[in-house]
């Protein structure tokens, strides 16, 4: 019989107040083993504070966190053995070499000396750090610094990994390489909670949670979010518009105050139309008012970014 709990990470109404300010307000979610969970939300919405509570670094004011079914607050020392935490400003030592940083973190995480050599070799092979072992951390590019930080947080073979903005400020190729590594780790069964501001990264996650002003306002797979009642019961729908010259169409659409959220996506314009305006009517309006050619308008699924904009506006309106 498998006695392992179904969820690797659970937040049960986690709440944190600093003085009179509540910065995390009854946040609940559960993450299955092996899942990559994307944790999104604007700066200051409470993401890092949730992570710090789940790592046992700070105590919740109310609510509880569980790692592999074990209460974090009651077993903070035990929990630390099974989690890795790559914080937003992971503390690499710039004057130490890659190898010395790994040795240092090996000691911090209590990896016995006789195991550390093999573990370093295994990780550096997987992460590709071998050619850089004798380089000072300071000399590494942003992407390699992040990979070293990742290696440091994995030395003790945690089963759960918290990554707080692991790809902030690194170039797109390095971002993709870091994500390839995360997928490798996830296929090995590791559970991950990752915060990011990048929509393309969020789309790579199995599920997403969106926190806004200290409250979790949406949670689910992208499909579940798109199909959610909040997005289904709108009095509007999304379209994608193509035509030349696109800037003339854009300027015209902006002049119509009943159209919302007009944005440019490459050669396409995205707009939100009220349900009582058909695609055909909009087409006629654009043709009459601009000298455009090759006009095409199609209804489109909202992008993840659209979803967050819609949910954020709804939340604001309800306050």
Burial 101-117 (b: 16+ CB within 10 A, else e): bbbbbbeebebeeeebe
In the bound state with ligand ADP, the residue whose beta carbon lies nearer, of 41 and 302, is 41
Q: Give the ranges where 56-167 is alpha helix by DSSP (H).
A: 76-82, 98-108, 113-127, 142-154
In the bound state with ligand ADP, the residue whose beta carbon lies nearer, of 43 and 233, is 43
Q: How far is the CB of 163 from Mg ion (least distance, A)?
A: 11
In the bound state with Mg ion, the residue whose beta carbon lies nearer, of 164 and 177, is 164
Size of the site for ligand ADP (CB under 6 A): 10
Q: How far is the CB of 198 from ligand ADP (least distance, A)?
A: 15
In the bound state with Mg ion, the residue whose beta carbon lies nearer, of 48 and 153, is 48
Q: How far is the CB of 293 from ligand ADP (least distance, A)?
A: 46
Q: Which residues contact 279 (CB under 8 A, 6 or more apart)?
A: 239, 273, 297, 298, 299
Give CA–CA dist 9/29, Å, rounded.
8
Alpha-carbon distances, residue 223 vs 203, 265, 303 (angstroms): 10, 21, 11
Q: How far is the CB of 34 from ligand ADP (least distance, A)?
A: 25
Contact flag: residue 23 with ligand ADP (CB under 6 A)? yes
Contact flag: residue 45 with ligand ADP (CB under 6 A)? yes
Could you please report the per-residue DSSP string of 165-209? STTTT--HHHHHHHHHHHHHHHHTT-EEEEE-S-HHHHTTSSEEE
Contact flag: residue 166 with ligand ADP (CB under 6 A)? no
Coil, strand, or helix at residue 256? coil
From the number of C-beta atoms within 10 Å of its C-beta (0-12, 13-18, 19+), residue 241 rates as buried
- Contact present, 124 and 133 (Cβ < 8 Å): yes
Closest CA to 11 of 23, 1, 22, 24: 24
Q: Which of residues 283-302 bind ligand ADP (CB under 6 A)?
A: none
In the bound state with Mg ion, the residue whose beta carbon lies nearer, of 211 and 273, is 211
Contact flag: residue 43 with ligand ADP (CB under 6 A)? yes
Contact flag: residue 41 with ligand ADP (CB under 6 A)? yes
Contact flag: residue 46 with ligand ADP (CB under 6 A)? yes
Contact flag: residue 265 with ligand ADP (CB under 6 A)? no
Q: How far is the CB of 55 from Mg ion (least distance, A)?
A: 13
Part in contact with ligand ADP (CB under 6 A); list of ranges 47-55, 97-105, 269-277, 292-300: 47-55
Note the residues at the interface with ligand ADP (CB under 6 A).
18, 23, 41, 43-49
């Amino acid at each position: 019989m498998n006695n392992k709990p179904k969820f690797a990470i659970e937040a049960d109404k986690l709440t944190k107040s600093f003085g009179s300010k509540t910065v995390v307000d009854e946040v609940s979610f559960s993450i299955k083993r092996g899942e990559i969970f994307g944790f999104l939300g604007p700066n200051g919405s409470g993401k890092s504070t949730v992570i710090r509570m789940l790592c046992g670094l700070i105590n919740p004011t109310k609510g509880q966190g569980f790692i592999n079914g074990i209460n974090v607050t009651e077993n903070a020392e035990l929990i630390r053995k099974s989690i890795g935490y790559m914080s937003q400003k992971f503390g690499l030592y710039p004057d130490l070499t890659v190898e010395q940083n790994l040795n240092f973190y090996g000691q911090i995480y209590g990896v016995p000396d006789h195991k550390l050599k093999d573990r370093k070799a295994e990780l550096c092979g997987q992460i590709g750090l071998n050619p850089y072992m004798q380089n000072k951390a300071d000399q590494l590019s942003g992407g390699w610094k992040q990979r070293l930080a990742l290696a440091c947080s994995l030395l003790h073979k945690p089963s759960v990994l918290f990554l707080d903005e692991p790809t902030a400020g690194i170039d797109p190729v390095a971002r993709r390489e870091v994500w390839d590594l995360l997928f490798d780790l996830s296929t090995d069964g590791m559970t991950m909670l990752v915060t990011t501001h990048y929509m393309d990264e969020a789309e790579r996650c199995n599920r997403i949670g969106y926190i806004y002003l200290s409250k979790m306002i949406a949670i689910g797979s992208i499909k579940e979010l798109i199909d959610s009642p909040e997005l289904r019961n709108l009095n509007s729908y999304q379209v994608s518009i193509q035509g030349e010259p696109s800037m003339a169409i854009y300027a015209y659409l902006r002049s119509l105050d009943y159209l919302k959220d007009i944005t440019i996506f490459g050669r396409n314009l995205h707009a939100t139309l009220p349900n009582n305006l058909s695609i055909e009517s909009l087409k006629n309006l654009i043709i009459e008012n601009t000298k455009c050619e090759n006009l095409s308008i199609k209804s489109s699924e909202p992008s993840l970014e659209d979803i967050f904009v819609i949910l954020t506006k709804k939340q604001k309106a309800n306050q």
